[in-house]
Amino acid sequence: MGQSFNTQVYDIVRRIPAGCVATYGQIAALAGRPRNARMVGYALHCNPEPGVIPCHRVVFRDGSLAPGFAFGGPDRQRALLESEGVAFTEASQQGNAGADGLRVDLSRCQWQA
């Protein structure tokens, strides 16, 4: 019998290197379920190993951060990503980017799995 979807998600997310991010849709596609990006979000919200499974490295397809990041809010997610060297861009370059006006620069930091 195969792995559960959540287990597949956790295994994939563990492989995202520091300094890189992946999108929810990218993780869903790598897990063989390309139309299930929301399910990736649900799986990461239930992360059984915070700090081991780096769910902070998963962002929306436009580079924006999760508004309700499960482990401390979007400011915590941003701080974790910045500590790893992830680059951000200004909202003026990409449209509406949220309260702080920043998004991850996917052209520089998206994981090429």
Q: List pLDDT tens digits, range 10-23.
A: 999 999 999 999 99
- Quote the CA–CA distance of 37 and 24 in Å, as a whole number: 5
Give the containing element (helix H, strand E) for 90. Answer: strand 88-90
The DSSP output letter for 59 is E
Q: Are strands 22-23 and 88-90 parallel, antiparallel or unpaired?
A: unpaired
- What is the band of 75 on the pLDDT scale with cuts at 50, 70, 90? confident
The b/e string for 23-34 (b: 16+ C-beta within 10 A; e otherwise) is bbbbbbbbbeee
Under 8 Å between Cβ of 56 and 71: yes
Q: Which domain holds residue 36?
A: 5-109
Whole-structure pTM value? 0.88
pLDDT at 28 over 90: yes
Count of the separate structural domains present in the chain: 1
- What is the band of 63 on the pLDDT scale with cuts at 50, 70, 90? very high
Tell me if residue 55 is catalytic: yes
Instruction: Give the CATH number of the domain where residue 57 resides.
Output: 1.10.10.10
| Secondary structure (3-state) at 30 | helix
Of 20, 46, 55, 109, the catalytic one is 55
